[in-house]
Amino acid sequence: MKRNEKIPFLKALLCVAKADSDTDITELSYYQTLGVEIGLGSDEVSNIQSAVLSGKETLEENLDQIEERSTKLQLLYQMMILACADGVIGEAEYQGIKGAADHLNVEEDKVKEIVELVKETEALKKKREQILESV
């Protein structure tokens, strides 16, 4: 991911997470970890989070800054993973992700593939927890 896409990527991700007006600690923890994993400092991630949660950022203005197809697809995947972090994908979150996919001009078949990937990922996560008795 290009450096100039990292900040709008994180902002767009959090815009969808707050769509259901219930951004919980699990979602925020995942978000912060991801921000550091993509190469941003924890202070920078916290500043981005504050800006988005204060309502100063819109999803569309951040999506418009993402040009690389691979970044668009990764964003949709991470949006779905983040939406699952609290155990439930709310209707507002789902509509936000669907709207993001439309705005990014990602074809519906690709979005369905990403949804299936997330379902498989979540199923494997649950299986791992059961096998390792960490439920």
pLDDT at residue 108 greater than cutoff 80? yes
Q: How much helix, strand and coil, in percent to the nearest 5, is found in the chain?
A: 75, 0, 25
- Which CATH architecture best describes the domain 3-131? Orthogonal Bundle (1.10)
- The domain limits of the chain are 3-131
CA 106, 89, 15, 81 torsion: positive or negative? Answer: negative
The mean pLDDT value of the chain amounts to 86
Confidence of residue 87 (pLDDT cuts 50, 70, 90): low
| Amino acid in position 72 | K
pLDDT on residue 18: 76
Q: Quote the tokens at residue 31.
A: 């978000």
Give tens-digit pLDDT for 42-70.
Answer: 899 988 888 888 877 788 999 999 999 99
Q: Which of 17, 38, 10 has its CA nearest to residue 85? A: 17
pLDDT at residue 76 greater than cutoff 90? yes
Read off the pLDDT of each residue in 4-28 and give the average, rounded to a whole number.
82
Q: Look at the block and give the residue holding tokens 């791992």.
A: 128
